[in-house]
Homo-oligomer: A and B are copies of this chain.
Amino acid sequence: MKIALAQLNYRIGDFDKNVAGILEGIARAKAGGADLVVFAELSVCGYPPRDFLEFDDFIEKCYKGILRIAEECTGIAAIVGSPSVNPADKGKPLYNSAYFLADGRIQSLSHKTLLPNYDVFDEYRYFEPNRLPYEIVEYQGSRIAVTICEDLWNITDDPLYVRNPMDELLKLNPDMIINIAASPFHYSQPVDRFNVLKRNAMTYGIPLFYVNQVGGHTELLFDGGSMVINPAGTLVGSLKRFEEDFRVFDSQALQTGYVKSPLSESVISLIHDGLVMGIRDYFHKMGFSKAILGLSGGIDSAVTLVLAAEALGRENIKAVLLPSKFSSEHSISDAEGLAQNLGVERETISIQESFNAIETSLEPQFRDQPFNLTEENIQARVRAVILMALSNKFGYILLNTSNKSEAAVGYGTLYGDMCGGLSVLGDVYKTQVYELAHYINREKEIIPQNSIDKPPSAELRPDQKDSDSLPEYNILDKILLKYIEERKGPRELILAGFDEKIVKRILKLVNTNEYKRYQTPPILRVSPKAFGMGRRMPIVGKYLS
């Protein structure tokens, strides 16, 4: 049997676009001589649809989409993901289903059993897990075990679920597994995912056809990388990462040998490519083309600018220098150098007069209060007012340039440098931002070397350095990684050799700054544990704080 994998970029709730894309995939599969074409999990509506799933109108539109797609399934079969109504009188109202379409109509449905509900996932919020007896999809003499994403992920030494659908499906003698997925990207996911899928193919001794969606959905990035693995655990072929792709495989010819391992991409190149796709999709799916950002001469805004220019085209970027009396010479020249290297439009708007006017209007209240954090924040906020004014007047989206280290410890001004429609680097630690800068400069100097070499500074008071307020980033980031990604507590961190005082101070900073992170823009997720929907913390509380 010839099986086409269609790896598409859907748009949530845009049924016209999604159905049209699926119909195009069917036409292409027919033209390619495929017997069956496979689309991703919840492809008819895009993943994750979130609480739109609670609207009957939305579910009806999914069903109409499926019926429309079924009409075109003549001379070919298709597997399409969609929510479906749970007809039972008990349990959640929906299933997360794979529709099997052939001969112009719906032939059968397979429901997802394992509903991820950790990190960024909320599937048990909407769906009833499958409790029905499993069934094999028979088509053209093949016996297909149709599974949905997480259904294959309980094959581990530390299972999160009490059931394992493939163990039960195997009893029905399938001769292949098809898995439709919406498996979000983070920098270890390509390797983790390959290993899990390989383990399935080898354990069950049948080939595995895997279709993932691709594209950015606000903060959640999907890298695609759909693939076929044979029962020996060999990767027969894989589709592109971070792009739409389409390919037909012959289920009778899966021994054709070894294809490059998904391990070949470096973590930094994955992060880079993911961020570029994330920016592009955010803008295009929001209906915007132009970005604005404040360029400080520092490394974070420099890297953000380069990524934005790659994503949107340099002609669609405006970089704004917003100097105050604390801005150093080199900040201005580094920022200008970068804008010039990239060929993006730049403007310089001093914040000094606006800052002075605000200080003057506050004089009756502030009187003889000394300059402190308040004045630092005013500068950051005046910059935000100016950037947002340009954004509003000319239709730019403001890009946020904060990194994950800052976001973690609250080293930033709410409504100031924490503003923006989208945070590009909010899931990238400062030390990784440097790695990105080196990666960007790998062939020639795009980011001025001085932006990379100089000690980081917010330049909000004379001779300020980040290291006045924070431990060195190479220490800070290690502690943050252990606390945030690995969820180690203070005792474990101290046992790992970190200084007790520093550990306690950092954990306290992370926990007491939850109130700031609550109001940050959505952060493009590239790590296994990003701030945002995947990390849900109390604001008011008292733990390690």
**Interface residues in chain A, defined as those with a beta carbon under 8 Å from any beta carbon in chain B:** 11-14, 17, 46, 48-52, 54-58, 89-92, 117-118, 122, 124-125, 131, 158-162, 216-218, 281-282, 285-286, 347, 349-351, 353-354, 356-358, 360-362, 364-366, 369, 372-374, 377-378, 381-382, 384-386, 388-390, 392-393, 414-415, 419, 421, 487, 489-492, 515, 518-522, 533, 535-545
* Contact A51 B536, CB 8 Å, known A13-B542, A378-B389: yes
In the complex, the answer to whether B349 meets A361 with C-beta atoms within 8 Å is: yes
Contact of A365 among B46, B50, B217, B390 (CB under 8 A): B390
Contact of A381 among B216, B384, B518, B533 (CB under 8 A): B384
In the complex, the answer to whether B540 meets A285 with C-beta atoms within 8 Å is: yes
In the bound complex, residues from chain B placing their C-beta under 8 Å from that of A389 are 358, 362, 366, 374, 377-378
* Beta-carbon nearest neighbor of A415 in chain B: B415
CA of A419 to CA of B516 in the docked complex: distance in angstroms? 11
Contact of A354 among B122, B358, B369 (CB under 8 A): B358
Contact of A490 among B57, B218, B537 (CB under 8 A): B57
In the complex, the answer to whether B384 meets A542 with C-beta atoms within 8 Å is: no
In the bound complex, residues from chain B placing their C-beta under 8 Å from that of A54 are 487
In the complex, the answer to whether B385 meets A358 with C-beta atoms within 8 Å is: yes
A-B contact pairs, 14 of them (CB 8 A): A11-B541, A14-B542, A50-B537, A55-B489, A56-B487, A57-B491, A118-B125, A286-B515, A349-B361, A361-B386, A365-B393, A366-B389, A377-B389, A421-B515
CA of A57 to CA of B89 in the docked complex: distance in angstroms? 41
In the complex, the answer to whether A50 meets B538 with C-beta atoms within 8 Å is: yes
In the bound complex, residues from chain B placing their C-beta under 8 Å from that of A17 are 542
* Contact A52 B543, CB 8 Å, known A218-B538, A349-B365, A419-B415: yes
In the bound complex, residues from chain B placing their C-beta under 8 Å from that of A360 are 353
CA of A50 to CA of B534 in the docked complex: distance in angstroms? 11
In the bound complex, residues from chain B placing their C-beta under 8 Å from that of A382 are 358, 385
In the complex, the answer to whether B518 meets A384 with C-beta atoms within 8 Å is: no
* Beta-carbon nearest neighbor of A12 in chain B: B541
Contact of A362 among B378, B386, B537 (CB under 8 A): B386
Instruction: Tell me how far the C-beta of A62 lies from the nearest C-beta in chain B, rounded to whole angstroms.
Output: 11
* Beta-carbon nearest neighbor of A320 in chain B: B365
CA of A452 to CA of B168 in the docked complex: distance in angstroms? 66
Instruction: Tell me how far the C-beta of A156 lies from the nearest C-beta in chain B, rounded to whole angstroms.
Output: 10
In the complex, the answer to whether A92 meets B160 with C-beta atoms within 8 Å is: yes
* Beta-carbon nearest neighbor of A91 in chain B: B162
Instruction: Tell me how far the C-beta of A506 lies from the nearest C-beta in chain B, rounded to whole angstroms.
Output: 15
The 5 A-B pairs of least Cβ separation, nearest first, read A13-B543, A57-B489, A357-B357, A12-B541, A14-B542
Contact of A90 among B11, B125, B162, B377 (CB under 8 A): B162
CA of A377 to CA of B349 in the docked complex: distance in angstroms? 19
CA of A13 to CA of B542 in the docked complex: distance in angstroms? 5
Instruction: Tell me how far the C-beta of A377 lies from the nearest C-beta in chain B, rounded to whole angstroms.
Output: 6
* Beta-carbon nearest neighbor of A217 in chain B: B540
Contact of A51 among B11, B350, B521, B537 (CB under 8 A): B537
Instruction: Tell me how far the C-beta of A301 lies from the nearest C-beta in chain B, rounded to whole angstroms.
Output: 18
In the bound complex, residues from chain B placing their C-beta under 8 Å from that of A366 are 389, 393
CA of A520 to CA of B515 in the docked complex: distance in angstroms? 11
In the complex, the answer to whether A11 meets B542 with C-beta atoms within 8 Å is: yes
* Contact A12 B160, CB 8 Å, known A349-B361, A381-B388, A415-B415: no
* Beta-carbon nearest neighbor of A118 in chain B: B125
* Beta-carbon nearest neighbor of A362 in chain B: B389
In the bound complex, residues from chain B placing their C-beta under 8 Å from that of A521 are 518-519
In the bound complex, residues from chain B placing their C-beta under 8 Å from that of A90 are 159-162
* Contact A161 B125, CB 8 Å, known A52-B538, A537-B51: no
In the bound complex, residues from chain B placing their C-beta under 8 Å from that of A55 are 487, 489
In the bound complex, residues from chain B placing their C-beta under 8 Å from that of A487 are 54-56
CA of A353 to CA of B357 in the docked complex: distance in angstroms? 6
* Contact A543 B58, CB 8 Å, known A52-B538, A535-B51: yes
In the complex, the answer to whether B131 meets A281 with C-beta atoms within 8 Å is: no
In the complex, the answer to whether B377 meets A489 with C-beta atoms within 8 Å is: no
Instruction: Tell me how far the C-beta of A218 lies from the nearest C-beta in chain B, rounded to whole angstroms.
Output: 4
In the bound complex, residues from chain B placing their C-beta under 8 Å from that of A12 are 538, 540-543
In the bound complex, residues from chain B placing their C-beta under 8 Å from that of A385 are 358, 378, 381-382, 385, 415
CA of A518 to CA of B17 in the docked complex: distance in angstroms? 25
* Beta-carbon nearest neighbor of A376 in chain B: B392
CA of A125 to CA of B393 in the docked complex: distance in angstroms? 43
CA of A361 to CA of B353 in the docked complex: distance in angstroms? 8
